[in-house]
Chain A
Amino acid sequence: MNSDRLWSLIRKEFIQIVRDPRTLAITIVMPVAMLFLLGYAASNDVRNVPLAVWDQDRSPASRELLDAYRAADYFHLAYDVDSEDALRGLIDHGQALAGLIIPPDYSTRIVRGETAQVAMIVDGTDPSIASTALSAAAMIGQTKATNLLVERAASRGQSAVTQMPVEVRTQVWYNPDLLSSHFMIPGLIGLILMYLTTLLTSTAIVRERERGTIEQLIVTPLRSSELMVGKLLPYALIAMVDVVEIIAAGVLIFGAPINGSLPLLLVLSALFLMSTLGLGLLVSTMASTQQEAMMTSAFFMLPALFLSGFLFPLSSMPWYLQAISHVIPLRYFLIITRGIMLKGVGVEVLRTEILALALFTVIIMGAAVLRFHKRLD
């Protein structure tokens, strides 16, 4: 590698990037805009499930029960109806995802010390919402029942049997509130960076080919390796700006934690960028038009989305999909971002992932260098 040649190329690339302010603006603004957009959308949290209530009792006791549902922010008491048909209609139209029916004798039964039944109907179309809503509904009901038992016992002057025979004490580490945004933001950072960087370099070589400047470059003493590195470094710098702003946005806007080392996160982000920028370059050496290059790099996105562990846990996938996931750099980076941001782990835990990314980068850059021949045929 000749530093003079390399520096000349890097300088030229920078001038070209800076003199194309529209593309530069998109590059700088897009990651945060995407994080903003997707950060709110990509959430598995079940909150504010619209609930239709048919309260046939309309007593202080039934209102107390409704208050219990209102207090837990799982449900949003959106509709107050007065027939089963009305309730069914709301669920059919998707306006309500759950319905609660309180029978007319609810308070009477409670007063008499009998078992009062209420009905909970849940729209099972989306199983993840349904199961969370069901268990939340059951939990709220049980808590209410336990409270009633205690009250009754107290009113009879008995000391309550509050001791439960078995108790499972649960403890959630790293993300104690089970906020899916905390889980999603580190993943989104990786996904957005991958999308952006692969696109950035995928046109880098083929653009020279389309404009005919590649011919002039080939007849110079510039080496294939110098061309690849010289094309990669300027974009790496820009992508690092993106890394900093997207992490800042994740922390400031979405309150994502960084429990581990920020410098380590930045360094490993840079490593990840090398692998995805390299992938873009490899695509660029193979494509014959910029359009083809962009299509090809977009083609990598969907598998990365599904097979990296971004959306679904890898452990629940069949073995062959798990095998494929090993060649997706995002897979490793997700473990790294989630590890550093949520778990606060360091290099000693992430050694495998770091090695995998480094290896991937070396192989992909090597392939790009070998793939680019200083010839036209």
Chain B
Amino acid sequence: MSELAVQVDRLTKRFGDFTAVDGISFEVRPGEVVGYLGPNGSGKTTTIRMLLGLLRPTAGRAEVLGFDVERQAEAIRPLVGYMSQKFALYDELTMAENLEFYAGIYGVPKGERRGRQQAVMDLVGLNGLGDARAGQMSGGWRQRLALAIALVHRPQLLFLDEPTSGVDPVARRIFWNTIDKLADDGATVFVSTHYMDEAEYCGRLGIMNGGRLLALDTPAALKRDTLPGPTWNLIVDRLIPALDALESLPGVFQVGLRGDHLHAITLAGEHSQHTLQSSLEGMGFSVEVESTDPTLEDVFMALAGDKAPSLD
């Protein structure tokens, strides 16, 4: 039990009548990068807050690094790093002062403090920016500082709650490169996101919707196991009528609009490139069908039976 970084057993959190997290169970092994994918309000933040001892579980239990989150929260705190959605920085303090504050609060020994601060600033690419006021920095820089703060005491386990929300795509890319570097060094990371593309970087990925954990596996396994059949891209002349027509065909599981084309999931063994092509042409559409690799968006749609949380 204690060799697991996180062990969650039927964890539940209710706020009044609303069930934010509904009996989820999972495990995280040391050295894993586990993602948590789901739309806003699906229970990702509530789960992380319970694991950090910020919220009391209504039912079920969880252990982080072998400590019970409800009774031994203080024992967990020095061992984990946390980056909240809001990048909790003090605007009046400079970047370096923010980092120094948390290094002090986490009890980084005085002798090591300067070196450690320098190391994390280098890691997140903030060297030379220490004297800038945190309040004057834009989202991407604030995000990097928040990560540096979460890392300054060398935690064994890192909780990142939507670390890339409100950050531009370039900054997101750089951020994930840093997470990759950390993972290579053996860090255990638990990260939530609502971006499908980011979810691909995770070693294993949990799919959250409406407070339920629908699946947890590697992205490849999720694509392989959760879909009812093959996926297709269809380039058609009239998108919306074709979408309606396709949905009415037997053996078609789901159809979605993807920019300038349609994307469909069919039930296994029901359709081929040829049958789709001829069915639509028979209804008067000009169409080009190609087989495609499934995406995590397909996985989410198949599992949640719902619109994907974001389409970028």
Contacts and interface: CB of A to CB of B under 8 A. Distances in A.
B80 to A, nearest CB: 7
Contact of B97 (A15, A219, A375): A15
Contact of A218 (B54, B93, B100): B54
Contacts of B54: 215, 218-219, 375-377
In the complex, which of the residues A20, A220, A375 has the most CB atoms of chain B within 10 Å of its own CB atom? Answer: A220
B56 interface: yes
A123 B89 CA distance: 63
A213 B85 CA distance: 11
Given A212-B86, A213-B90, A219-B80, A375 B56 contact: yes
Contacts of B103: 8
Contacts of A222: 105
Contact of A220 (B55, B89, B90, B105): B105
B101 A8 contact: yes
Interface stretch (B71-79, B243-251, B276-284): B71-79
Nearest to B74: A221
A5 B93 contact: no
A135 interface: no
Contact of A15 (B93, B102, B149): B93
Contacts of A216: 82, 84, 88, 102, 149
Contact of A215 (B56, B84, B92): B84
B105 A8 contact: yes
Contact of A219 (B77, B92, B93, B101): B77
A213 B54 CA distance: 13
Interface in B40-96: 49, 52-56, 73-74, 77-78, 80, 82, 84, 86, 88-90, 92-93
Contacts of A4: 104, 107, 110
Interface in A236-272: none
Nearest to A230: B105
A12 to B, nearest CB: 5
A7 interface: yes
B106 interface: yes
A221 B107 CA distance: 8
B88 A5 contact: no
A375 B53 contact: yes
Nearest to A10: B104
Interface size class of B (residues with CB under 8 A): 20 to 34
Interface string A346-377: 00000000000000000000000000001111
Contacts of A5: 104-105, 107
Contacts of A7: 104
Given A12-B97, A376-B49, A2 B107 contact: yes
A9 interface: yes
A16 B53 CA distance: 28
A5 to B, nearest CB: 5
Nearest to B79: A221
Nearest to B83: A216
B90 A20 contact: no
A20 B133 CA distance: 13
A7 B106 CA distance: 12
Contacts of A20: 92
Nearest to A219: B82
A221 B53 contact: no
Interface string A199-237: 000000000000111111111111000000000000000
A237 to B, nearest CB: 18
A220 B86 contact: no
Contacts of A220: 77, 102, 105-106
A15 to B, nearest CB: 6
Interface in B96-146: 97, 100-107, 110
Contacts of A19: 92-93
Nearest to B49: A376
Nearest to A216: B88
Contacts of A377: 54-56
Contacts of B105: 5, 8-9, 217, 220-222
A233 to B, nearest CB: 15
Contacts of B100: 8
A326 interface: no
Nearest to B76: A219
Nearest to A19: B92
A212 B84 contact: yes
Given A8-B105, A374-B53, A15 B92 contact: yes
15 contacts: A5-B105, A8-B101, A8-B105, A12-B93, A15-B92, A20-B92, A212-B84, A215-B84, A216-B82, A219-B53, A221-B74, A221-B105, A376-B49, A376-B55, A377-B55
Shortest 5 CB-CB contacts between residues of A and residues of B: A8-B104, A216-B88, A19-B92, A212-B86, A213-B88
Interface of A: 2, 4-5, 7-9, 11-12, 15-16, 19-20, 211-222, 374-377
Interface of B: 49, 52-56, 73-74, 77-78, 80, 82, 84, 86, 88-90, 92-93, 97, 100-107, 110, 149
Given A15-B93, A220-B106, A374-B73, 6 more contacts: A8-B105, A216-B84, A219-B54, A220-B105, A221-B77, A374-B74
